[in-house]
Structure formats: C-alpha cells, structure tokens
Amino acid sequence: MQPPTIPVQGGIEAALAALLVLRPGELSRNRHFRLHATREGSRARARASALRGLARQLAGAHGPARALVIEEGSEEGVLELAPGAPEAAAMGGVSGSELIATEPKPRGATLRFTLPRVAARRVIHVSSIELAILRVALFEAGVRLLPAALVARAEDQTRIAELLAQARRLRGEAS
C-alpha cells in the first residue's frame, strides 16, 4: 500500500527537508503524523538526515574535512528515444522525430571529501536547493572557514526563508 500524498504546488519535499534540517523541533512526528506518512515526507526525512549528517561532518564533528572538492553541475537537457521508437534506432541513425527532450537535470553539486580521523571518504550529490539548505545550515552552525562554494549567499537565505514559510503552511494543513 502506497502512503497517501498531500497535493501541494511543487517543492513539498524541499520545503519539508529545509524545515527538518534547519528547524527540526517544529515538525514533530507525533503531532504531524499525516505529513510524515506521505511519500514526500518520507523522502524529505531521508534527504534531511543526509544533509544534517553532511553539515555535522563539514562542521568538524569527526575532525576537519580534508581534500574537499565541490563539483557544481550545470543544467542540461537530455535527449531520449520516444516511447515506441524501434530499439534498432538506438544502435544507429535516429531521426529527429524519434527523439524527445526530457526535463533538465536539476542543478546541483557533488561534494567529495575525506575525514582522516575516522578513515572515511564521502561522496554525495545534492540538488541546488539542498546545496542552499546546506549552506544556510553551516552558516547557522557558525562554521566560518569554508570554501566559497559552501558560503551562504543572500539568495540562499531568501530561498530558504520562502521554503520554511511554505513548510509551515503545510504543517498547519496537515495537523
């Protein structure tokens, strides 16, 4: 049985993830069970957990992170075979009518770093909104010695404030 969904204009997962990372006390599981029982809520909890762990590691909870590399992606559309196009076309020449453009990949970044104290290497891909959440979380935690790509920007603060407001509205609807 699939969990129910709550119809909300896009961004429910990002809004819930932002709230769970930055204001975890505002969304208790017992008081907002319907919200946590949705597919979106489940995915948001998983991403929020990964982002909180990432923020702790970058803040130095396991010693300083070393060899930090941030590869910021670009938004690219992908061409794929249209449904029903012959499989043989995939091997050779494909006409333009058999190709369809898919949604652009979400912009984001891949973070790679090591934690020498615990002998760990971490590689994680985050979407652009998750990167903004991470930047704001690191800022609020007081982490100051960061590469430029992880320093919170004004647009991150604005974007996250909007997401938190949306999440609070969702919280009110789902109580």
How confident is the model at residue 34, as a pLDDT? 62
pLDDT of residue 88 exceeding 60: no
Rounded to an integer, the average pLDDT of 84-97 is 43
**Considering the domain boundaries, does residue 37 fall inside one?**
yes
* Amino acid identity, position 88: A
**Which residues are bridge partners to 116 per DSSP?**
none
Dihedral of CA atoms 37, 39, 42, 47 in degrees, nearest 10, equals: -160
pTM of the model: 0.71
Please determine, for residue 141, whether its predicted confidence score (pLDDT) is greater than 80.
Answer: yes
Residue 85 has pLDDT above 60, yes or no: no
Q: Which domain holds residue 62?
A: 12-174
Domains in the chain, number:
1
Q: Is 39 within the bounds of a domain? A: yes
Least confident of 6-20, 84-98, 147-161: 84-98
In a domain, 5, yes or no: no
Residue 164 domain-assigned (yes or no): yes
- Predicted confidence (pLDDT) at residue 1 exceeds the cutoff of 70: no
The verdict on residue 56 lying in a domain is yes
For residue range 147-165, list pLDDT tens digits in order: 888 999 999 999 999 988 8
Residue 4 lies in a domain: no
Average pLDDT of span 75-95: 43
- Determine which of 30-39, 106-115, 129-138 has the lowest per-residue pLDDT on average: 30-39
* Residue 116 belongs to a domain: yes
Give domain status of residue 59, yes or no: yes
37 and 43 Cβ atoms separated by less than 8 Å: no
Place of tokens 């109580």: 175
